[in-house]
Amino acid sequence: MSVEFAAPLDAVAADVARALAEDLGAGDVTAALLPDIADSAYLLCKEDAIVCGRPWFDACHRALDADVRIDWRVEEGDRIAAGTVLATLQGRARALVGAERSSLNFMQTLSATATNTAAHVDAVRGSKAKILDTRKTLPGLRQAQKYAVRVGGGVNHRMGLFDAVMLKENHVRAAGSLTAAIDAARAAQPDLPLIVEVETLDQLREALEVGCTRILIDDFDATTRREAVAITAAHPRPVPLEVSGGVDLEGLRAIAADGVDCISIGGLTKHVRAIDLSLKLGPPPEGN
C-alpha cells in the first residue's frame, strides 16, 4: 500500500470495534452452529470498481481470528473488472462467517466512495482542477470515507470544524462585513487555513484584497464564474478558486475548463451505491 493511501490506523481499529460490537452483540448464534474447523473463503467483486477498504476488511477478520491468512490478489486503488476474486482467506470457519458482514460493509462502502470519486477525477483529467470532498460523510465514518476519496484520486477538504476556518454568509453577517470577518478569523486562528465563501464579484475583489487561503465561489453561473477566474488571475496576489454547489458529473468538465483550481462535491461521499461483493466459503472457482 502506498504512503499516499496510508490508512488512519486508530480510526480503523475504532471503526471495526464498533462494527463488530454492533453485529455480534453477545455472540454469533448462527456461526456457533458451524464446526470450529479450519476452512477457506474467497472475496468476489461482482462489478467494475476501484478497490478500497483492505485495512478495515483485514482488521475485521483478525479481530475474530488472529491467525487468519488473507492473501490479496489486488492492491488498494486498483481498477478491477466484474468477476474478479480480490482475496482468499484461510482461517477458522466460525470466525470467517462471523466477520463476513462487517468486513463486506466496509469494503462495499469504501470501494463505492473510491469508485465514485474516480469517475469525477476522470471527468476533469487534463485540467488543473482538483476534486475535493466535503464533510457530508456517513456519521462515524469520516476518516474512512475521506481515505477512500484519496484512494479514488480526490483530495480531502478540511477533516472537520477544527482544522480550517471557513467563513460563510452567516459569519459575514455576524461580523458586519467580509473584511471584518476575515480579520477576526485571522486574529483568532492565525495558523489555520482560511477559506472564504463569496456570493458576488464585489465580495471576490474584497477577499482578494484582504487575503485568504482559498476563495469559494458558490453557485456562480458560468459567465460569472469565468469572470471570477479572470479577476483572480489578474490580481497581484491571486489565491486558488474553489467551486461548490450545483455540481454534477455531467457538467463537471465545463466547470474545470473555466480554469478553477478546486471543485468540492458532497456527492463523493453521500451519493454512493454500495459495490456488490460477496465472501464465500471454499476455494474460488476454477480459473479465478
Residues 6+ apart with CB under 8 A from 188: 165
**Residue 77 one-letter amino acid:** G
**d(C-alpha 83, C-alpha 32), whole Å:** 30
pTM for this prediction? 0.95
Cβ within 8 Å of residue 121, ≥6 positions away? 131, 152, 153, 154
Span 8-25, average pLDDT: 97
Measured CA to CA, the distance from residue 186 to residue 256 in angstroms comes to: 30
Among 14, 6, 12, 22, smallest CA distance to 99 is for 22
Q: Give all domains of the chain, ordered by start, each with its CATH number.
A: 3-118+272-281 (3.90.1170.20), 125-270 (3.20.20.70)
What stretches of 124-141 show up as alpha helix (H) in DSSP?
A: none
Residues involved in catalysis:
101, 136, 168, 197, 218
- Label residue 49 exposed, middle or buried (CB < 10 Å: 0-12, 13-18, 19+): buried
pLDDT digits (tens, 9 = 90+) for 202-218: 999 999 999 999 999 98
257 phi and psi, to 5 degrees? -65, -20
Report pLDDT digits (tens) over 115-171.
Answer: 999 999 999 999 999 999 999 999 999 999 999 999 999 999 999 999 999 999 999
| Residue 204: partners with Cβ closer than 8 Å, 6 or more residues away | 198, 215, 217, 228, 231, 232
